[in-house]
Amino acid sequence: MFLVAGLGNPGEEYANTPHNLGFMVVDRLAEMHNIRVTRRDSKALTGVGQIAGRDAMLAKPQTFMNLSGTSLAPLMEKHLLTAADLILVYDELALPWTSLRIKPRGSSAGHNGVDSAIRSLGTTDFVRVRLGIHPGHPLSSGIDYLLSPLKRSLRKELEQLVADGADAVVSIIAEGVEKAMTRFNRRAPGSNEEA
């Protein structure tokens, strides 16, 4: 079984913030595949169903972003899942807005939620779907930006980014991470570098 875990913060006040893109992608996958993510399990909201003909559990840790690993580790242990079964979906301030990057493993790159997952799981060997949220101008405070509601004018782009994130997860499950990387790791708009 795959575990698709989206990172975010619980609570209505965080629902439409950049830091909750992981939750938004899990919600989109739940909608697409008719999975109810309502069961409380190991400090997470979870739901089990089928994605691309494979068993999958969707999870939204309810521990707040910086403690995500304290939910993921017991959830995986309880369901006999390993890091090879995990697909972690989250926002990435180091990537430009609307870019998407799949990575098969690696460091946290300063992302506190990913850092918590790495510390709790004791490994960096899990697939990540990173969703770019940098607005393209200098930020006075990264934290304020991450936890502030996204502007209404960005709604259409946000919906496309969430849809792309969900499609990337389906591709990883259906075709494997290498093929998904070939399909989804594209250059950011207006950039000469790989996103």
DSSP 115-183: HHHHHHHT---SEEEEEEEE-SS--S-HHHHHTSPPPGGGHHHHHHHHHHHHHHHHHHHHH-HHHHHHH
Active-site residue numbers? 19
- pLDDT 10s digits, 144-174: 888 888 888 888 999 999 999 999 999 999 9
- What is the C-alpha separation between 164 and 157, in angstroms, rounded? 10
Q: What is the pTM of this model?
A: 0.92
- What is the C-alpha separation between 90 and 132, in angstroms, rounded? 9
- pLDDT 10s digits, 80-128: 999 999 999 999 999 999 999 999 999 998 899 999 999 999 999 999 9
Above pLDDT 70, what percent of the chain? Answer: 94
Domains and CATH numbers, the chain: 2-184 (3.40.50.1470)
